């Protein structure tokens, strides 16, 4: 799924791949509407955040694997106090930590789209919503989440 409007007001820093290229396939994947995470070719396990070595088997042969953007709400926070001028008029917004059972339970961070005052329930099923920013400089895509089934 893709979002029709951005969740947060514009003006926060735009994500760019790390200078050493460590997470470039992830950001490239999001632009294509795909969730692509680091997966070790040595032991076959996902790891996140990305690193230059597998923390399990110490293999340097780390590949990248697409996984389905469906997960479980692991934790959440409803943020009220703006700490950036871009969010001065935002009002409350929700950040969630999502666990991905299809990727060895690694976790990623995003926003929970919809009413910021919606109930936040740990354990809820959530699915990804790709939020494309083609007109940003540089263009980028964020991965947001919604409770599923809504």
Q: 130 near 111, Cβ under 8 Å?
A: no
Q: Is 83 in the site for another protein (CB under 8 A)?
A: yes
Q: Is 107 in the site for another protein (CB under 8 A)?
A: yes
Q: Is 88 in the site for another protein (CB under 8 A)?
A: no
Q: Is 95 in the site for another protein (CB under 8 A)?
A: yes
Cβ distance to another protein smaller for residue 81 or 150: 81
40, 108, 126, 147: residue in contact with another protein (rule CB under 8 A): 108
Q: 65 near 45, Cβ under 8 Å?
A: no
Cα–Cα distance for residue pair 46/37, rounded to 1 Å: 7
- Strands 140-147, 93-100: pairing is unpaired
For residue 19, what are the CA distances in angstroms to 23, 26, 50, 74?
Answer: 9, 14, 13, 30
Contact string (CB under 8 A) for another protein, positions 47-66, x = contact: -xx-x---x-----------
CA 87 to chain centre: 20
**Which residues would be at the binding site for another protein (CB under 8 A)?**
8, 12-19, 23, 27, 48-49, 51, 55, 74-81, 83-85, 87, 90, 92-93, 95, 97, 106-111, 122, 138, 140, 142
């Amino acid at each position: 799924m893709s979002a029709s409007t951005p969740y947060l007001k514009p003006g926060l820093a735009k994500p760019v791949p790390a200078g050493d290229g460590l997470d470039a396939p992830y950001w490239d994947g999001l632009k294509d509407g795909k969730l692509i995470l680091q997966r070790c070719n040595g032991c076959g396990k996902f790891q996140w955040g990305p690193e230059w070595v597998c923390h399990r088997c110490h293999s340097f042969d780390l590949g990248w694997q697409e996984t389905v953007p469906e997960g479980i709400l692991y934790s959440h926070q409803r943020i009220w106090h703006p700490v950036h001028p871009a969010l001065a008029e935002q009002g409350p917004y929700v950040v969630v930590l999502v666990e991905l059972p299809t990727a060895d339970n690694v976790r990623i961070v995003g926003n929970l789209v919809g009413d910021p005052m919606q109930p936040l329930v740990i354990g809820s099923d959530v699915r990804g919503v790709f939020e494309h920013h083609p007109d940003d400089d540089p263009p980028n895509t964020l991965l947001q989440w919604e409770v599923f089934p809504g």
